[in-house]
Amino acid sequence: MLFTSYSFIAFLALLFTVYYLVPRRFQWMLLLFASYLFYFIAGPTYVIYIFVTTLSTYLVSVKLESLNKAQSAYLAEHKDMSREEKKEYKASVKSKQRKWLAACLLFNFGILAVVKYTNFAIANINAVIGAFGGGTQLSFLKLALPLGISFYTFQTMGYIIDVYRGKHPAERNFFKLALFVSFFPQLIQGPISRFSDLAQTLYKEHSFDSRNISFGIQRILWGYFKKVVLADRILVAVNTLIKNPDTYQGAYVLIGMLFYAYQLYADFTGGIDITIGIAQVLGIEVKENFHRPYFSKNIVEYWRRWHITMGTWFRDYLFYPLSVSKPMLNISKHSRRLFGEALGKRIPVYLSTFIVWFATGIWHGASWNFIVWGLMNCVVILISQELKPFYDWFHSRFNVAGKLYFKVFQIVRTVLLMSSIRMFDCYRDVPMTFRMFGTIFTRFSFKPFFDGSLLKLGLDLSDYIVLLAGLIVLTIVSVSQARGSVRRQLEKKPVLVRYAAYYALILSILVLGAYGVGYDSSQFIYNQF
Amino acid sequence: MKKRKLIINITAVCLLIISLLLLQRLLMPKYVSAIVEGSLIEEYYQETTGHDVIFVGDCEVYESFSPITLWENYGITSYIRGSAQQLIWQSYYLLEETLQYEKPEVVVFNVLAMKYDKPQKEEYNRLTLDGMRLSPIKIKAIQASMTEKENLIDYIFPILRYHSRWDELTAEDFQYMFKKKKLFHNGYYMRVDVRPVTTVPEGRKLANYRFGDNAYYYLDKMVDLCRDNDIDLVLVKAPSLYPYWYDEWEAQIEEYAAKHDLLYINFLELIDEIGIDFNTDTYDGGLHMNLSGAEKLSVYLGKVLAENYGLKDHRNDDVYKEVWEEKVDFYYDMKAQQYYELEKYGYLKSFGAKPPTS
C-alpha cells in the first residue's frame, strides 16, 4: 500500500474517523491493529520479521530491567557490602546485561544483515572467485526484504540500547512496544524515533483537536504536493538521464545530478511531511527529520539538517560508543605516541568517522555505490575539518563571513557538493559514476540547454513550468520556515488568503499531480533503504 | 465566534466541491471534433420518447444501422446504444440500464463482441463507460470492464483520470463544458465518405476458436434479461469484412441461437441479397459501413423486424411524429453538410474523420 495509492488514502480516512470514535483508552490498540494491517498488506510474510524483532527486543529489555531490579534489591539487602564488593557485584550484573544486549543486537542486526546483505556478499565473493580464475559461482538467494526493515531495526535497537543504558525503563506491555516498533506512518521511511520521544505521545489518550487535525492535514497535503506534483514529475527525466548513460553525458550529467537533488528532496521530505502530518492528525508528535537542509552552508551542517534522526542515531549509538571504546582508546594512545599529539589525537576520530560513514553508506543499500557514497561524505567532512583553520583565516582576511552573497555562495557550494556525491545513488556502479562525473568537465556543452534537448527527456514545457513554480514555492516556504511554522503564519492571515492557499494546494495536487493512468506510481526513494 | 467559524468552513467545503466539479467538467474530454465515438453513450439520455428496438454492441452496430431509415421506411423507433469496442458485459449493463428508462420490443445484439472474454483496453472502456450516468449498474459495468491497472474511483471521479489534460485544454473544452452539440442520429454515427475495399485480409489461425466462458456468461445473462422483460433478442453479425469472422465462431452462434430459440442474422451471408457493394458502401475499406451501406442494411433489417415481431408503425402517431421529424431534419442536414465538406475538403473535416493523407 503506497502512501500515494487510493487505498492508503481510504485507509487513512477510515482510521482517522474510527480513531476519534472509539473510547480513548483503545486508541493505541487501534493504531497497533492498523499498523499491523498496513504491514500485512505490504507483505504477509513481513509481519513475521517485525514480530520476531519486537518479541526478541521485548524479552531482552524485560530481562535487562529485571537484572537492574535484582541488583537494586540485592544492594538494598546487602547494605553492609564494601564499596569494592558493590563495584564488583555491579560489574558482574553489567556484564550479564551486556551479554543480553549483545545477543539482542546480534540477533536483530543479524536478521537485517542476512536479508539485506547476503546477496551483496555473494556477489563480492563471486567477483573474488572470478578474479582468481575460479569457475564456480555461488548462487544468489531469494530472500524477502521486509519493508522498512532498516528503519524499524534501527529504531528498536536504539530502544534496547537506551534500556541498557538506563535512559528509560523497559516497556512492560508487549503490545505497546509492538506499536512503538510498527507505528505505520514512520515504518517505511522513518523518522527513526527514540522511545523517550515517541512513547508517551503514542500511548496517550487523544481528544479531537480541530486545530491540530487541520494542521496535520495541511502537512499531509504539503507532503503529497512535494511527492506527486514535483518528485514524481521530475522522476521521468531523472530516469531517462541515468538509465541511458551512453546517450546522456557532459551537461546532461550535471542536469541529471541537479534534477535528482530536486527529486530526492521533494520525495523524501514529502514522505516525512506525510508521516508527521498523519501522526499529528492522530495527536501524536513525531520528531522532525529535516531542518531546511538546502540552506546549509557546509556539509557538516547539512548532515545536521538532513535525515536528522538517522544522523543522530549513528552519532549516539555508534560514533560516541566507538570513540570511547577500549580499542579506540588504545589506538588513540598508540597514535599519539607514533604521530605526536596533534595528529595522533585526530586518528581515532578519523577512524570512528570512517566507520560511521561506512555504516551509513551500507545502511542505505547493499552495494558499493552506497558504501563509496558514505565514504565520500566522510572524506569531504574530514577535509572540511582539516581546512577549518584556512577557512577561518580566509573569512577574517576577506571579511566575507555573514555577508549575504557569501552565504549564498556557501549554500550553492554545499548543494552542488552534496548533489555530486549523491550521483552514486544513480548510476549502475562506482566506476561508471566517476566516469559520468568526469564527462561533466570533459564533454560539457551549453547546447542541451538551448537546442530543445531538455524537452526530449520525458518532460514537456508545461512540466518544466510546474517544476520551476514548485521550486519557487519550496524556496518561499523554506525561507518562511526560518520565522517558524508556516502553518501558524498562515493561520494568522485573513480567511480569504488562508483558504486560497489551501485551495491552491488541494487543486494543484489533484490537477498537476503525476498520478493515475499514464503515470507509474512510484515508491518513495527511502522505502527502498 | 464558533458559529462564524463553522459557516466559513462549510462555505469553504462547498466552494471546494463546486470548484472540483467544474474542473472535472472542464478536464473531461469532450469528444466533439475528435474521437467523436466518445459521445455516443451519453446522447441517449437526451431521448424523450421510448423505442421499439434497442441495439447494443460495438462499432458494427453504430455504423451499420440507421434508426432514421428504420423510421422512414417502417415507422420503427430505435436507438443504438453502441460504442467503440463495446465488450459484451458492457452491452449487457447498457441494456440493463436502458431498461430502467424504457422497455423496447426487440433488442439487437451484434455478436462480434463474443470474441473478447477479458477486459481489453482502458481507452475503449472510457469511450463506453464515461458516458454512462452514475448508477449501481454503471459501477457493475466498470467492475466488469476494468483492466488490472484501473481503479473504480477513477471512473466515479473522472478528474482523477483526466487531471493531466490541464495542459491540453482547447477552446472546445470550455465551449462544451456544460452542453454538447448533438453528433449522432439515435446512436448512429453517420459517415457519407467512401473508401472501397481493396484487399480482404485472411483470418490468421487461432489456437482456440471457442468463445470464452465469460462472454457466454454475459450472453446468457442478456438472454435471461430479455426473457424476463418479455423482449425479443435478435443476434446479428454486421457485414464488416474484418475483424475476420471465423466459420467456427459462426457455428457457435448458430448453435447458441438455435438452442435458445433466437433469431440470428449473419449479414455477411446476405451481402448480395441486400445489395451491399464494397466499392461504394464502406468508408474505410470494409471495416465499417458508410451511410449508403447502413441504409441498405436498415431497410433489410427493418423488414425482418416488422414482419417477425409485429412492430407498430408509429409514423402517424403524433407524439413520435413530432420528435422524429426533428431527427429526420437533423439527419438530412448533416448528410448535406457531410457531402459539402467532402467536396470542399476531400474529407469529413468536422465529423471526426482524418485527412486522406494521414
- Report the CATH number that the domain containing residue B199 is assigned in CATH: 3.40.50.1110
pLDDT tens-digit profile of A234-247? Answer: 999 999 999 999 99
Say how many Å lie between the first and final Cα of chain B, rounded: 65
Amino acid at B139: I
Query: Which residues have a Cβ under 8 Å from the Cβ of B80 and sit 6 or more positions away?
Result: B40, B54, B55, B61, B62, B65, B67, B186, B187, B188
Residue A127 has pLDDT above 90, yes or no: no
Say how far apart CA B77 and CA B50 lie, in whole Å: 8
Q: Which three cell numbers stand for residue B229?
A: 422483460
Residue A356 has pLDDT above 60, yes or no: yes
A76-80, A425-429, B25-29, B294-298: which range is least confident on average?
A76-80
Residues of chain A contacting residue B159, judged by C-beta atoms under 8 Å apart: 510-511
Q: Which three cell numbers stand for residue A343?
A: 595528529
Contact A512 B163 (CB under 8 A): yes
Amino acid at A355: I
Cβ neighbour number for residue B78 with a 10 Å cutoff: 29
Amino acid at A262: Y
Whether B14 has its CB under 8 Å from any CB of chain A: the answer is no
**Among all residues of chain A, which has the CA nearest to that of B26?**
A511
What is residue B358's predicted lDDT score, i.e. its pLDDT? 47
What is residue A220's predicted lDDT score, i.e. its pLDDT? 97
Contact call for residues A350 and A375 (beta carbons, < 8 A): no
Say how far apart CA B66 and CA B297 lie, in whole Å: 8
**Is residue B353 in a domain?**
no
**Is residue B70 in a domain?**
yes
Dihedrals φ, ψ of A31, to 5°?
A: -65, -40
Helix (H), strand (E) at residue A93: helix A83-131
**Is residue B273 in a domain?**
yes
Q: How much is the mean pLDDT over chain A? A: 91
Contact B166 A511 (CB under 8 A): yes
Vertex B99, ends B98 and B101: CA angle to 5°?
A: 70
- Listed by number, the residues of chain B in 82-121 with a beta carbon closer than 8 Å to a beta carbon of chain A are none
Whether B166 has its CB under 8 Å from any CB of chain A: the answer is yes
Contact A462 B151 (CB under 8 A): no
**Among all residues of chain A, which has the CA nearest to that of B153?**
A6
Cβ neighbour number for residue B343 with a 10 Å cutoff: 8
Confidence of residue A517 (pLDDT cuts 50, 70, 90): confident
By Cβ distance, the residue of A6, A495, A510 closest to B163 is: A510
Whether A500 has its CB under 8 Å from any CB of chain B: the answer is no
Q: Which three cell numbers stand for residue A528?
A: 527502498
**Is residue B307 in a domain?**
yes
Helix (H), strand (E) at residue A159: helix A149-164
Contact A510 B8 (CB under 8 A): no
Whether A6 has its CB under 8 Å from any CB of chain B: the answer is yes
Mean pLDDT calculated for residue range A296-321: 94
**Is residue B142 in a domain?**
no
**Among all residues of chain B, which has the CA nearest to that of A517?**
B161
Contact A510 B20 (CB under 8 A): yes
ipTM: 0.83
Say how far apart CA A301 and CA A414 lie, in whole Å: 9
Residues of chain B with pLDDT under 50: 358
What is residue A523's predicted lDDT score, i.e. its pLDDT? 57
Contact B154 A460 (CB under 8 A): no
Residue A345 has pLDDT above 70, yes or no: yes
Mean pLDDT calculated for residue range A359-375: 92
Whether A496 has its CB under 8 Å from any CB of chain B: the answer is no
Contact A506 B16 (CB under 8 A): yes
What is residue B257's predicted lDDT score, i.e. its pLDDT? 96
Q: How far is B31 from chain A (nearest CA, A)?
A: 19
Domain interval for residue B223: 38-121+180-345
Beta-bridge mates of residue B282: B289
Which candidate, A109, A104, A158, places its Cα nearest to that of A96?
Answer: A104
Contact A511 B16 (CB under 8 A): no
Confidence of residue A217 (pLDDT cuts 50, 70, 90): very high
The region that residue A484 occupies, defined by phi over 0 for left and psi between -120 and 50 for alpha, beta otherwise, is left
Interface A-B: count of C-beta contacts within 8 A: 44
What is residue B62's predicted lDDT score, i.e. its pLDDT? 95
pLDDT tens-digit profile of A20-73? Answer: 999 999 999 999 999 999 999 988 899 999 999 999 999 999 999 999 888 888
Whether B167 has its CB under 8 Å from any CB of chain A: the answer is yes
- Listed by number, the residues of chain A in 393-432 with a beta carbon closer than 8 Å to a beta carbon of chain B are none
Contact call for residues B56 and B109 (beta carbons, < 8 A): yes
Whether B20 has its CB under 8 Å from any CB of chain A: the answer is yes
Residues of chain B contacting residue A519, judged by C-beta atoms under 8 Å apart: 164
By Cβ distance, the residue of B15, B161, B163 closest to A513 is: B163
Q: How far is B246 from chain A (nearest CA, A)?
A: 35
Residues of chain B contacting residue A495, judged by C-beta atoms under 8 Å apart: 8
pLDDT tens-digit profile of B243-281? Answer: 899 999 999 999 999 999 999 999 999 999 999 999 999
Residue A526 has pLDDT above 80, yes or no: no
Contact A6 B20 (CB under 8 A): no
Whether B129 has its CB under 8 Å from any CB of chain A: the answer is no
pLDDT tens-digit profile of A475-490? Answer: 999 999 999 899 999 9
Amino acid at A311: G
Say how far apart CA A239 and CA B177 lie, in whole Å: 37
Total domains present in chain B = 1
Please give the DSSP secondary-structure letter assigned to residue B158: T
Say how far apart CA B62 and CA B289 lie, in whole Å: 9
Whether A511 has its CB under 8 Å from any CB of chain B: the answer is yes
Residues of chain A contacting residue B164, judged by C-beta atoms under 8 Å apart: 514, 516, 518-519
By Cβ distance, the residue of A462, A499, A511 closest to B163 is: A511
Going from the C-alpha of B200 to that of each of B218, B220, B244, the distances in angstroms are 31, 32, 9
**Is residue B12 in a domain?**
no
By Cβ distance, the residue of B8, B151, B163 closest to A495 is: B8
Contact A503 B19 (CB under 8 A): yes
The three-state (H, E, C) secondary structure of chain B, written as one string: CHHHHHHHHHHHHHHHHHHHHHHHHHHCCCCCCCCHHHHHHHHHHHCCCCCCEEEEECHHHHCCCCHHHHHHHHCCCEEEEECCCCCHHHHHHHHHHHHHHCCCCEEEEEHHHHHCCCCCCHHHHHHHHCCCCCCHHHHHHHHHHCCCCCCHHHHHCCHHHHHHHHHCCCHHHHHCCCCCCCCCECCECCCCCCCCCCCCCCCCCCCCCCCCHHHHHHHHHHHHHHHHCCCEEEEEECCCCCCCCCHHHHHHHHHHHHHCCCEEEEHHHHHHHHCCCCCCCECCCCCCECHHHHHHHHHHHHHHHHHHHCCCCCCCCHHHHHHHHHHHHHHHHHHHHHHHHHHHHCCCCCCCCCCCCC
Whether A513 has its CB under 8 Å from any CB of chain B: the answer is yes
Contact call for residues B138 and B132 (beta carbons, < 8 A): yes
